[in-house]
Amino acid sequence: MANRKRSFDEVREIVEACHCSLLEREFIIRFEKHPDSEERWFLQVGMERECAYTGDRGVGFGGKLEVSPWSTRDEIVKKILGACLAYAEHEVREGFFWDGNRIFNPHVTVEALARICGETISRNEEVI
């Protein structure tokens, strides 16, 4: 089928046909219109989980992904898979510690990363 413009309801049907779980927890897949425009749509994935920082239980959502009315079914489904994978990676980064520090913290600002980006090591420099 040639690429054609889809309605919001058509895309919602594609989204609602997708299901994903991780460690027996079901992802929540949200598909909505942007508040400022009927023609701009986004999706997010999330799940019920314990916050890594506060310990509170609740639903946490990942970042918003733009969905175009011109998206193909494959693009939409693969975007949802990518969002689920990114969410899982985010949770693993929050739960990974080295020497008591959350060294791959996904919430570190880009400004903080820029300050340390010159602190690198190559295989030849590592002392074993």
- Residue 56 has a pLDDT of 92
pTM of the complete model: 0.87
- Residue 123 has a pLDDT of 77
Calpha distance 91→59 (Å, rounded): 13
Using only the alpha carbons of the chain, give its radius of gyration. 19
The tokens describing 61, both together, are 């959502």
Mean pLDDT of the chain: 92
For residue 11, count other CB atoms closer than 10 A to its CB. Answer: 19
The tokens describing 124, both together, are 């030849």
> Longest C-alpha distance within the chain, in Å?
59
Q: For residue 1, is pLDDT > 80?
A: no
Q: For residue 10, is pLDDT > 80?
A: yes
For residue 66, count other CB atoms closer than 10 A to its CB. Answer: 11
* Mean local confidence (pLDDT), 63-74: 95
